[in-house]
Structure 1
Amino acid sequence: MRLVVQVKLLPTPEQAVALDATLRAANAAAIRVAALAFEARCFRNYDLRKAAYELIKAEFGLAAQAAQHVIKKVCDAYRTLHATLAAGHLGKPGTARRIKAESKPISFRPRAAQPYDDRCLSWQHHDRTVSIWTIAGRLRGIAFTGSDGQLALLAAHRRGESDLVCRDGLWFLHATIEVPDRPVAVPDGFLGTDLGIANIATTSDGVRHSGKVLNAVQHRHRELRRRLQAKKTKSAKRLLKRRRRKEARFAANVNHVIAKRIVTEAERTGRGIALEDLQGIRERVRLRKPQRVALHSWSFHQLGGFIAYKAARAGVAVIFVDPSYTSQQCSRCGHIDKLNRPDQDTFLCTSCGFAEHADVNAARNIAARGEVGWAVSHAADDAA
């Protein structure tokens, strides 16, 4: 399994200046390469290297490996853009948004992340320092720190590239690690998990993780942003800049805690985890404007991703099921009817009279679909 470990760098002021100059030079070079690629319609790494390699080494003072990484970063960015266009995520051909994306070269922020490989970056784990290439020469002895768990994973399993990142004046390295896959245990049933807004996650055991606190925090941040943006003063802009990631960090922490509890319970009871496949829900669902704000602030994809990777590390099976009618179907008799949901919280079957909290009922339907899906998929594997 491939994961990313973030460690914080603790450079001296002189080292920080050199790192900043390196990021700016690398991204200025990337902008130049992106313009060359756009003009020549040349997006393959090998072909683009022949056109841009010597140019950016001479013009921007980049070493050989750094120049190679800049060119690869540009090619990867164009590959992502073309895949996004092909998937229709920027609109249909001829729409203003798509034309804007297609009509100009890709750009890079002055402090966008820059990848490093083992030729440009070396780790001294015992001293907790790194040696890293910059345009001012090789910087040695830059201290780094992180949690004990992260540092242990880094020392034991680091593989491949690391990204140098500057965020809010702080320096980080995002290092790729490859943890050995843990065999997935054959599940004894499934723990269904219904993701929502009023309740962030509800399991088929009846455990509800309320979204009341998270929704209140998000509402408070929205109102604060609205008031500060209306002021348009320098102090308001400074405050907005300082607070811009605070809400996201809070939501991510809540999702981590919930995901860990769900995976721990599934592992303890020997079950797998069944989740709804909610991909594309924002495009499918039609809501009133106030509800759209809540939906687009809902980090369900992040929570699902956290559950999936934590389950993989624990050897817990995860299956994604069709979410259609899970909230309208009776988990006891299977009857589907809109009238089964008299209000947001209540499920009352119009056929058999079964009553339950709506999210718990939905989670039980998800668990049942998970068992069927697992049986079908593994019966096909056994037959093959």
Structure 2
Amino acid sequence: MPGMKIVTQVKLMPEADQAAALSATLRTVNDLACWVSEVAFAHGVPREYELRKHTYPRLKAEGLGAQAAQHVIKKVRDAYTTLHANIRAGNLGKPKSKRRIKAGSKPITFRPEAAQPYDDRCLSWQYDAQTVSIWTTAGRLKNVRFVCSADALKTLREYRKGEADLIERDGVFYLIATCEVPEAETYEPDGFIGVDLGIVNIATTSTGYQAAGRGLHRYRKRQLALRAKLQKKRTKSAKRRLKERSRREQRHVKNTNHIIAKTIVTEAERTSAGISLEELKGIRQRVRLRKPQRVALHSWAFAQLGDFIVYKAKRAGVPLVFVDPAYTSQTCAECGHVDKRNRVDQGLFICRGCGVVAHADRNASHNIATRGETVWNAGRESRVPATP
């Protein structure tokens, strides 16, 4: 059965001497990664094997183990691969833009606390004791405690596969492990739940669930005001607090998106329905909003919410389709009449054809559900072999 890769994060709880060793290790490997990056840049970023010939002896001489040295070289090579892919995709601007020229004109640098990959030869897990044994420049550290949720521990125990990254954030250490979770077998859906995404209501489903954005927007508005206040100060402590606040806001958004996604997927699974989700690509270009709402649109993590719904649906075996959301807010879910005047205002839909009155987002979600069923049936027909 095919599997999907997800990441699981655990927080390390090292003793003082263990924390010092982990911190020194990250600083050493990232300092050496910066040196490897300079060598790579000077040699026109050669392939990993050739880069190893130029750098491996010094990395070993600096006290890195064989595996740690290989990981530093691979980390640098991967960073350049990602940079070149971003340049080719136009993510860093047009060919002669300042940003693109700047990105390609100097070696990549690594922050002192940046992630360092570990494989099973450098890191071993003791799940029952909730400890890890991990390589450092000061030797192997044993019995380093970690904490995580019961669900995360279960996922790690059953599905952890491949490397884990050690990172440091504000003096706190985390291990981010890759887990390969099997996808459940998809069942034949009994209808589809349409999901309409928006600003006032982040998600509205055709079954009646509504993730209202009012409280979230108040929270984000408050955070925006606090950020503006701190940005004016321009002190070191203000910059540090800005970073902390930014991460706290990201965690808040992520948690909210997890809750919304879980609610939608659980409802679909309970009723043996599929999920019909609007195609997110180009949502920022499609939506036309008044100025006060633009910040909310451009700062809300729509793609993250979509990703969460997709992976939770795959884990549960819930069928999922993407549909074109064009005109779903102007089309009557009852009679199919399309008219932009049907959408009276943000929350009200009155059909000019049949006179039905409905909540605008709920009406759109019903249209998305209908389109989902059409897409699923069309796909099912294409999978059936033609009779001779």
**TM-score scaled by length of structure 1:** 0.94
Deviations 1:169-228 (A, max 9, x none): 111111112222210111111100011110010001232110011111000000011112
For residues 97-136 of structure 1, what are the structure 2 equivalents within 5 Å? Answer: 97-136=99-138
1:9 aligns to what? Answer: 12
Evaluate the alpha carbon distance shift between residue 48 and residue 289 of structure 1 in structure 2; reply closer, same or farther with a 3 A threshold.
farther
For residues 69-218 of structure 1, what are the structure 2 equivalents within 5 Å? Answer: 69-218=71-220
Code of the aligned partner of 1:124: Q
Inter-partner Cα distance in structure 2 for 1:103 and 1:329? 51
Runs (5+) with no aligned partner, structure 1: none
Task: Tell me by how many angstroms 1:292 deviates.
Answer: 2.7
8 Å Cα contact 1:196/1:300 also seen in 2: no
Runs (5+) with no aligned partner, structure 2: none
1:22 aligns to what? Answer: 25
8 Å Cα contact 1:43/1:78 also seen in 2: no
8 Å Cα contact 2:183/2:316 also seen in 1: no
Task: Tell me by how many angstroms 1:369 deviates.
Answer: 1.2
Task: Tell me by how many angstroms 1:6 deviates.
Answer: 1.2
Task: Tell me by how many angstroms 1:287 deviates.
Answer: 5.1
Deviations 1:220-241 (A, max 9, x none): 0000111122133455344334
2:340 aligns to what? Answer: 338
Farther off after superposition, 289-298 or 251-260 = 289-298
Evaluate the alpha carbon distance shift between residue 108 and residue 286 of structure 1 in structure 2; reply closer, same or farther with a 3 A threshold.
farther
Equivalent pairs: percent with the same residue?
60
Code of the aligned partner of 2:176: H
8 Å Cα contact 1:260/1:307 also seen in 2: yes
8 Å Cα contact 2:45/2:80 also seen in 1: no
Task: Tell me by how many angstroms 1:381 deviates.
Answer: 2.2
Code of the aligned partner of 1:328: Q
Inter-partner Cα distance in structure 2 for 1:326 and 1:43? 51
Deviations 1:246-304 (A, max 9, x none): 11111111111111111111001100111111123335556565333111211111111
RMSD value, Cα: 1.8
User: Could you list the runs of 4 or more consecutive aligned residues of structure 1 that deviate by over 4 angstroms after TM superposition?
Assistant: 283-289
Evaluate the alpha carbon distance shift between residue 365 and residue 246 of structure 1 in structure 2; reply closer, same or farther with a 3 A threshold.
same
8 Å Cα contact 1:114/1:164 also seen in 2: yes
Evaluate the alpha carbon distance shift between residue 98 and residue 285 of structure 1 in structure 2; reply closer, same or farther with a 3 A threshold.
farther
Code of the aligned partner of 1:44: R
8 Å Cα contact 1:6/1:172 also seen in 2: yes
Q: Which residue among 336, 349, 352 is the counterpart of 2:351? A: 349
Deviations 1:58-89 (A, max 9, x none): 2x422111111111112222222222222222
1:377 aligns to what? Answer: 379
Question: How many residues align structurally?
Answer: 383
Inter-partner Cα distance in structure 2 for 1:77 and 1:288? 39
8 Å Cα contact 2:36/2:55 also seen in 1: yes
Inter-partner Cα distance in structure 1 for 2:148 and 2:122? 21
Inter-partner Cα distance in structure 2 for 1:57 and 1:283? 51
